[in-house]
Each structure stands twice: as structure tokens, then as C-alpha cells.
Structure 1
């Protein structure tokens, strides 16, 4: 159950992170980060690791975009 919940939170975060890749929308990654962290924590409580790993990939995408944009753009 936790794994499914982690997947759903990861998908919600991905829906926020994908448009944030457009220039001047990088601030949306800051909105997605708390959701991603919650998804990672819930995924860590699960017996399966796939939901947690999916959230980690989304976190990596958001973190790289924030790094390239200087944290704002």
C-alpha cells in the first residue's frame, strides 16, 4: 500500500516537475520538492523499493534543473 502511495505522489511530483523544465518556470521545482520528499519517506516505509526509486529519479531531475538555473530560474 505504501509503495502505491509513493508511486502516486511521485507521479504528482512529476506532473509539476515536467513543466518546470521550461525557462522561467524553475520555481515550480521548489513546490514539487516537499511532495518528492514525502514520497521518498513513504516509499522507504514500503517493503518494495520501486516507488522510492521513482521518487528519487524525479528528485534528481528537479535537483539538476534547480542547479542549472541557479536555484531560481
Structure 2
């Protein structure tokens, strides 16, 4: 679960950078649910792995959380169009 959430977070981060480009802000509408699923996978990974193996899941949770926050702020600024 940790590796999946980490890779999911990396893909979401790349998508977030692309959605910061003007006229591609509409991608944030799809990015927020995508990153939310990644955060759920990471949370499940944190819950069901041993404490010494939680690093990847925690990193995936942080990455997906950052992506969600930035996407929400970007939608608030540009309304998802710009």
C-alpha cells in the first residue's frame, strides 16, 4: 500500500504542476478526487503496516495532501478556468 500511495502521489504532483499552467486549471477538478483516493490508500497503508515500514505510506499521504491543498487554492484563485 505504501508504494502504491507514493507512486499515486508522484503522479498527482506531476498532474498538479501541469494544472498550474494557465488555461489548464480545469485539470484541478479531476485532480482533487484523484489525490483524495491516493490519500485514502495511504491512510489504509499507514493503518495496516508495521510501524517501521510506514515511511512510504506517510510520504504518499503528505504528497497527496499537498496536492489537494494546492488544487483547492488554485481553484479558489482562478475558478478552475484559468
TM over 0.5: yes
Tell me if the contact between 2:35 and 2:67 (Cα under 8 Å) persists in the aligned partners: yes
In structure 1, the residue matched to 2:75 is 66
State the TM-score, normalized to the length of structure 2: 0.77
* Cα deviation code 1:12-67 (max 9, x no counterpart): 11121101111111001112122101100000011232211111011111111111
The yes-or-no answer on 1:22 pairing with 2:10 is: no
Larger Rg: 2
The 10-residue stretch of structure 1 (36-45 or 56-65) with the greater mean CA deviation from structure 2:
56-65
Any unmatched runs of 5+ in structure 1? Answer: none
- Higher share in helix: 2
List aligned pairs for 1:1-73, cutoff 5 A.
Answer: 2-47=1-46, 48=54, 49-73=58-82
8 A Cα contact 2:12 2:31, kept in partner: yes
TM-score w.r.t. the length of structure 1 is 0.85
